[in-house]
Amino acid sequence: MPAPVALITGAAHRLGARTAETLHGRGWNVVIHYRSRAEQAEQLVEKLNRERANSATSVQADLTRADNIANLARAASQHWERLDGLINNASVFYPRATEACTEDDWDDIMGANLKAPFFLLKHCLPELKKSNGSVINLIDIYSEKPLKDHPLYCASKAGLAALTRSWAKDLAPRIRVNGISPGAILWPEGDADIDPTHQQAILDKTPLARTGNPDDIAGAIAYLLCDAPFVTGQVLAIDGGRSLNM
């Protein structure tokens, strides 16, 4: 029987890469999407293909461009002539207070975090319907209780949570749609770096008193994708209890 196929956006590193490795370990073929991390994506593909021949491939796409989104869906669906899972993991995160926001910030954050998942799913729908597939959206605990000076980011993730529930109703019974809302798993990189004092403040509000790790997210995605045939329309918080004390 052919292996099921998952398209994972933003899968060249961090949570996306661990998710690809986890699903691959469960017998899935994986399409590794990346925007600029070509070397990391290729290294991951080579590693997975050494473990199981012809089981991984990569596709470059800028998710803020409509033509790139369409090409990504087409490439993912055609490589093994099927698509069973879509994991919308890619995300843009950086602070921008309302008074400092520009239309470019709006297009960047809302485009990558909300518009791209919508249109990527639209383009993937024919193949997902054929396979009775599943969609997992990476949301955020800040979609419900916003983070200061991140109005666009929080709005984009709240919108993605709403899409998750809407799609679960609209696409049933053929396609299941669920979400994962991570808490403190990996600290942000680059311009979004969080200072140590703020990191500790987050941990102080986390009942389990520690960060999670990428396996927590990858395992939850694998559960929803592979082991939860009667679960749809749910957003699962993987946050060590942080959402209890936001």
Residues taking part in catalysis? 153
| Integer Cα distance of 98 and 150 in angstroms | 8
Specify the residue for token string 């082991």: 227
Phi, psi of 115, deg, nearest 5: -65, -45
Q: Quote the distance between the C-alpha of residue 103 and its chain's center.
A: 24
Q: Read off the amino acid at residue 230.
A: F
Q: Where are the beta strands (DSSP E) in the chain?
A: 5-8, 29-34, 56-60, 85-88, 134-138, 176-182, 235-238
| Integer Cα distance of 227 and 236 in angstroms | 14
- Could you tell me which residues come within 8 angstroms of residue 70 by beta carbon, excluding any fewer than 6 positions away? 119, 123
Specify the residue for token string 């109703």: 169
